[in-house]
Amino acid sequence: MDPRLFKAIKYGTPVVLVALAAWIIWAPPARVGYAPEQPIAYSHAKHAGEYGIDCQYCHTGVTTGKKAGVPSMNTCMNCHVSVGYGKPGVEKLKKFYEKKQPLEWVRIHNLPDHVRFPHAPHIKQLLKDGQPTKTACTPCHGDVANMKVVEQVQSLNMGFCVNCHKDYRNDAEYKNHGVNINCNTCHY
C-alpha cells in the first residue's frame, strides 16, 4: 500500500469514527418544534388545561403498557354527543363519526424501530405520590396541558435518554437501581 494512503487511513479512520459516534449520540434534534396540523383542531390547552381532563382519560395505556395510545372517536363522543354544539371543530368531528371515517392523527414523537421505549415503567418511577399524571409527562413532552397544538420539545436522541438514566443510577434516593445504560436495555 502507498505509505501516504496508509497514513491517511491510520489517522483518518479514528477521526471519522469519533465523528460518527458523536453524531449518533447527539443527533441533531431535527424534530424539536415539530407541530403538524391535525385533521381536527383538538386543543390540549382547552381539554387537559382549562377543563383539567386527566391525561389518562384519553391516553389509557400510559401507566399500564408500552404505548400511551391515542383515543378513538368514541372517547371524544362521550362528551361531544352533547357538548360543543355548533363549534366548527366539533361539527367536523361529528361528520367523521357519522361516516365511521377514522380520524388520522399525525404522529409527532416517533423513535426508530430499533429502539425500545415502554411508557409504564417510566411513569411508575416519575410520578410522585399525590401529583397529577401530567407531572410525569413533562420531562419528555413538556407542558402539554398548555399547548393548543402539541409540539415536540425534547430531542429524544440517545444522549437525552442516557443522561437521565445516568442521573437515576447516581441518585441515592432512587431505591430501584434497575435502570441502566446497557445497549440492550434500549435496543432490540
Site for ligand HEC in 30-69 (CB under 6 A): 38, 40-44, 46-48, 51, 53, 55, 57-59, 62, 67-69
Closest chain position to ligand HEC (CB): 89
Nearer to ligand HEC, 5 or 17 (CB): 17
Please state the closest distance from residue 144 (CB atom) to ligand HEC, in A: 4
Nearer to ligand HEC, 64 or 181 (CB): 181
Please state the closest distance from residue 85 (CB atom) to ligand HEC, in A: 7
User: Which cell goes with 101?
Assistant: 371515517
Non-local CB neighbours of 177 within 8 Å, separated by 6+ positions: 169
152 within 8 A of 32, measured Cβ to Cβ: yes
Dihedral of alpha carbons 166, 169, 170, 176, sign: positive
Non-local CB neighbours of 157 within 8 Å, separated by 6+ positions: 25, 26, 27, 29
Q: Amino acid letter at 43? A: S
**Site for ligand HEC (CB under 6 A): which residue of 16, 78, 97, 170?**
78
Name which of residues 168 to 187 contact ligand HEC (CB under 6 A).
168, 176, 178-179, 181, 183, 185-187
- Considering only CA atoms, which of 67, 146, 143 is closest in space to residue 110? 67
Name which of residues 4 to 23 contact ligand HEC (CB under 6 A).
none
134 near ligand HEC (CB under 6 A): yes
**Site for ligand HEC (CB under 6 A): which residue of 16, 22, 75, 101?**
75
With contacts defined by CB under 6 A, how many residues of the chain interact with ligand HEC? 78
Burial of 179 (0-12, 13-18, 19+ CB in 10 A): middle
